[in-house]
Amino acid sequence: MGSLAVSGTDQTLATGGARAASGWARILDQLPTVAEGSDGHWHYWEVDDDCGCPVTDLERGEQLGRETVAVLRAHPEGACVLRRILRDIDLDSQVAQGFLSALEAALFGRAGD
């Protein structure tokens, strides 16, 4: 058998894939709830636990939600990340409830409840 050579087109595709991956990493790095773990995997709800003060936790969650919406509006191709955030979110957390309130406000134009 002969050796496997990489054609110019294949090399371009491989380079484009690396650029796309680094582009995704830049978007993910901008999302406040997303962090890359030491294992190289992305964690989509990497948020400290509630501090125990519901008002503070809700406000922090709302801020995280607004920041997330701003990034996703600037990079619509990153919107698929929202599904991963919602999959990983801790719904029992006050921070998460604030986050969801901010998403609801952004989607439906309400100032929040």
Domain count, the chain: 1
Per-state percent for the chain, helix, strand, coil, to nearest 5? 65, 5, 35
> In 32-89, which ranges are E strands?
35-36, 42-43
Which of 15, 1, 32 lies closest to 102, judged by CA? Answer: 32
Q: What gap in Å lies between CA 14 and CA 101, rounded to an integer?
A: 41
Asked, for residue 22, whether it belongs to a domain, the answer is: yes
Asked, for residue 18, whether it belongs to a domain, the answer is: yes
Asked, for residue 83, whether it belongs to a domain, the answer is: yes
Q: What pLDDT digit, counting tens, does each position of 54-96 carry? A: 999 999 999 999 999 999 999 988 888 999 999 999 999 999 9
Asked, for residue 15, whether it belongs to a domain, the answer is: yes
Place of tokens 């371009």: 12
Asked, for residue 1, whether it belongs to a domain, the answer is: no
Asked, for residue 113, whether it belongs to a domain, the answer is: no
* Residue-range definition of the domain harbouring residue 84: 8-108
Q: What pLDDT digit, counting tens, does each position of 39-55 carry? A: 989 999 999 889 999 99
Asked, for residue 43, whether it belongs to a domain, the answer is: yes
